[in-house]
Structure 1
Amino acid sequence: MKPDGRIRVMQIIARMNVGGPATQVSGLSERLNAAEFDHRLYTGYVDGGEGDHLQLRHTTIPVHRIPGLGRSIKPADDYRALFRLISAMREFRPDVIQTRTTKAGALGRVAARMSGVDAARVHVFHGHLLQGYFSGFKRSVYTRSERFLASLSDRLVTVGARVRDDLLAAGIGRPEQYVVIPPGVRLGPVPDRAEARAALGIPADVPVVAYVGRLTKVKRPDRFVDAANAVLERIPGCRFLVCGSGELKEEMERNVHPIWDSFRLLGWRRDVETVYAAADVVMLTSDNEGTPLALVEAGMAGVPVVSTRVGSVAEVVRHGSTGLLANRDAGELAAHAIRLLSDPHLARGMGEAAKEWTTRNFAVERLVADTEALYRSLHGSSKPRRGVSSR
């Protein structure tokens, strides 16, 4: 026990860019019981072109900056970040070291090993890079690296059961190491539909499909544009909202140029609730996902979802009840969207079911309770051996 009796938790994430990991870290940082946990966040800087979650949400979370712990892989910067983490660990003397994202997971777990600090090591997989990112040699290197890093870990947390099963199938970690903790989020006040559409310059009486997320390769914004073209063939007056940005922003602008009047490229927005309120359908077109928060938020806003059936999406969207799932095919996604846009009664029923389901199962309070229970289970004088469950 430390002098003040609290469990010390060192949270390490490469960068707090807009997305699920940053949202989860913020929720925990703001809501963990401060009387029981001394929780500190260590992170790098957000790259240019990415939305900064801390700035966008106006959060006041104390941050310990680790230069070099960003997105890019640069050996000299990574080496310096590694030794800054070792120094920070020796100074803080945490009971639990929790890492998130691939780069921070690697540097953080190696630093924990090298620091000599007697802390439980936990890594969180918000998804994985087994599909949609690499092929051949690079995928093999990633898999072997994660197998080694799993041997340095006491617990491996995944945001969904499918993510866990994929990792186990790849030989990463042992079943007893894994804990599934689904994400948790609290959506801000959702405005009135008419108010939201007026704020976004969208006519009150047109069908609207929204995309919320990064414009990056694995998210397949090109597939969203293809689906939009197919929807417009059947519903010419439909509008498409794109809330997000990324390295494919300019490519998407070129792709939508022939149908520019049907699109609104909104960039990152603080008021994402306004986008959900204006939409009839939220569409996700990814090749790979963990448990996407955009679909949780859409459900909490009462909007039905059309999504590719990837990762743990099916653990958020109940096909035929809260939304519709498809293969990674633009035509099938478009057909599902057209079905919902053409049947307001069906869409309204699915939206209501989605709101009830997501609010009950993905509340931030549940995330905090699950995480606090994990920290308590790992705390104590006898830490579990690497890769062996204490249960």
Structure 2
Amino acid sequence: MKPDNRIRVMEIIARMNVGGPATQVAGLCERLDSDEFDHRLYAGYVDGGEGDHLNLRDTLIPVHRIPGLGRSVRPADYRALRRLVAAMREFRPHIVHTRTGKAGALGRLAVRLSGVDAARIHVFHTPLPRGRPSRLRRSLRVRPQRFVTARFVAAGCDRLVTGGFNVRDDLLSAGVGRLEQYVVIPPGVQLGPIPDRMAARRSLGIPADVPVVAYVGRLSRVKRPDRFVEVAREVLERMPDCRFLICGGGELREEVERAIRPVWDSFRLLGWRRDVETVYAAADVLLLTSDNEGTPLALVEAGMAGVPVVSTRMGSVDEVVRDRRTGLLADPDVAELTDHTVRLLKDPSLARRMGEAARRWTTRAFGVDRLVTDTEALYRSLCGVPR
């Protein structure tokens, strides 16, 4: 029987769809010291068309379901708020730990309405755009409600967590929170066993001797799969035997299918997979083409698999990828991304050196045990702090 003087943590996330937030939550749920922490997860349901992290990873994590706490904002959200208030009054958490904007906003309101004396932590996984454009330009590029929500959530928090310093600085420059609220905790990942390269290629139907470029992530606007396809076409002009793996799904899947139809035989659309390690094992390069990123777990996973990456220089990407040592970074420019990709594909010894350096770096800096240690220390620091 667990001791009854444990620190009670109520973790709230909108949904456990495949991606960085769900991976982090799962790692904490599985590894936090249960003798010291009573950690409970509250989440909505995954929308149709998205991969469910818990199902794909066969993760047996208890989840307290909150209907309505999903991706979209709906008039019925007040029901989710009522359920959160009731859950807080029953659980009496010492700490309420929220992720994603909707969960953060409802979590803040629920703390106020429930009357519990809980410390508040919110994690910003998705950053605001990099750079410091004028207020007018920024307001045109990002939905105003995203800023309003971020500032509302930050104002009610004891601590704000980001996965990288660049993301923290971008949020501060946008007026979200105060410096003393922020704690930087890099993500933590544990990748499964990496299969043999040839076996991985056979299972995916790829020839053993062709160059392979992989995309791992959601097929969404911000990830720019259209730019990935543009780069692929340019690479094929120089290396016609190259193959491209797209591992993931999302609202742009049909659009991607139409775009690759003229070069269909060069692509494999894999959807969401349980065995993402197979995709990394089969690849020579991982290509990330996003317009905006936080601290992308696909880059961490690729590094742990010994795969060098080519990526746009966004968010805290340069805190994961050591440019010209573990991969190559570029502006969001098709020509530059193409040149970097072809360079690694045509120089296997360079790719191998970068991949090995990436394996050493990511294993040391982004292990899940380090994430758990940092998070436990954050929880302890907030117990007994006046609010």
Matches of 2:349 and 2:301 in 1, distance apart? Answer: 21
8 Å Cα contact 1:276/1:303 also seen in 2: yes
Partner of 1:249: 253
Q: Does 2:365 correspond to 1:361? A: yes
Q: Residues of 1 paired with 2:312 and 2:125: CA distance? A: 17
Residues 76-123 of structure 1, C-alpha deviations (whole Å, 9 max, x = no match): 2x1111111111011100000000011111111121122110000000
282, 285, 288: which is aligned to 2:286? Answer: 282
Q: CA deviation at 1:3?
A: 7.0
Trace 1:282-361 onto structure 2 (pairs within 5 A). Answer: 282-361=286-365
The aligned counterpart of 1:389 is: none
Other-structure match for 1:95: 94
Is 1:100–1:123's contact at 8 Å kept on the other side of the alignment? yes
Give the match's secondary structure for 2:120: strand
Q: d(CA) in 2 for partners of 1:166 and 1:304? A: 27
- Name the CA shift for 1:41/1:162 in 2 (closer, same or farther; >3 Å): same
> Measured at CA, do residues 306 and 93 of structure 1 come closer, stay the same or move farther in structure 2, by a change above 3 Å?
same
* 122-131 or 51-60, which deviates more: 122-131
What is the one-letter code of the residue matched to 2:144?
S
Distance 1:295 1:178 in 2: 24
Q: In the aligned structure 1, how far is the partner of 2:380 from the partner of 2:347?
A: 49
Question: How much does 1:329 deviate?
Answer: 1.0
Unaligned runs of 5+ in 1: 386-391
Taking the aligned partners of 1:139 and 1:325, their CA distance within structure 2 comes to: 28
User: Is the CA contact 1:130–1:139 (under 8 Å) kept in the aligned structure 2?
Assistant: no
Alpha-carbon deviation of 1:38? 0.3
Deviation at 1:142, TM superposition (A): 2.2
Compute the TM-score of the two structures, normalised by the length of structure 1.
0.95
Per the alignment, residue 86 of structure 1 pairs with: 85
SS of 2:97 mapped into structure 1: strand
Task: Mark the runs of 5 or more structure 2 residues left unpaired by the alignment.
Answer: 132-137
Paired residue type of 2:73:
I
Render the CA deviation track for 1:34-93: whole Å, top value 9, x for unaligned: 0000000000000000000010111110000000000111122x1111111111011100
Letter in 2 for 1:312: S
Distance in 1 between the 2:370 and 2:121 partners? 19
**What amino acid maps onto 2:45 in structure 1?**
Y
Question: Deviations 1:241-270 (Å, cap 9, x if unpaired)?
Answer: 000000000000000000100000000000
Equivalences for residues 132-147 of structure 1 within 5 A:
135-136=139-140, 139-147=143-151
Alpha-carbon distance in 2 for matches of 1:47, 1:41: 18
Question: Aligned partners of 1:27 and 1:141: how far apart in 2?
Answer: 30
Which letter does structure 2 place at the counterpart of 1:202? I
What is residue 73 of structure 2 aligned with on the other side? Answer: 73
Q: Where does residue 23 of structure 2 map in the other structure?
A: 23
Tell me the residue number matched to 1:124.
Answer: 123
| Equivalent residues in 2 for 1:216-235, closer than 5 Å | 216-235=220-239
1:131 touches 1:287 (CA, 8 Å); kept in 2? Answer: no
Cα distance in structure 1, aligned partners of 2:159 and 2:269: 40
Query: For residues 207 and 181 of structure 2, what CA distance do their matches in structure 1 show?
Result: 51
Q: Within 2, Cα distance between the matches of 1:42 and 1:274? A: 31
Deviation at 1:130, TM superposition (A): 4.3
Q: Secondary structure of the residue that 2:143 maps to in structure 1?
A: helix
Structure 2 length as normaliser, TM-score? 0.96
Look up the equivalent residue of 2:12 and give its one-letter code: I
1:263 aligned residue (259, 263, 267):
267
| Shift in Å, 1:139 | 3.2
How many angstroms apart in 1 are the aligned matches of 2:248 and 2:130?
A: 22
Partner SS state of residue 75, structure 1:
coil
Q: SS in structure 2 opposite 1:40?
A: strand
Contact 1:24 1:185 in 2 (8 A): yes
Query: What is the CA-CA distance between 1:145 and the residue it aligns to?
Result: 3.0
Pairwise CA distance, 1:384 = 3.7
For 1:369 and 1:185, how far apart are their aligned partners in 2? Answer: 13
What's the offset of the Cα at 1:144? 2.9
What residue identity is the alignment partner of 2:33?
N
| Match of residue 39 from structure 2 | 39
Amino acid at match of 2:312: T
Shift of residue 135 of structure 1? 4.6
How many Å apart are 1:128 and its aligned residue? 2.3
Q: Which residue matches 2:135?
A: none
1:137: Cα distance to partner? 8.7
1:388 aligned residue = none
**What is the letter of the counterpart of residue 141 of structure 1?**
Q
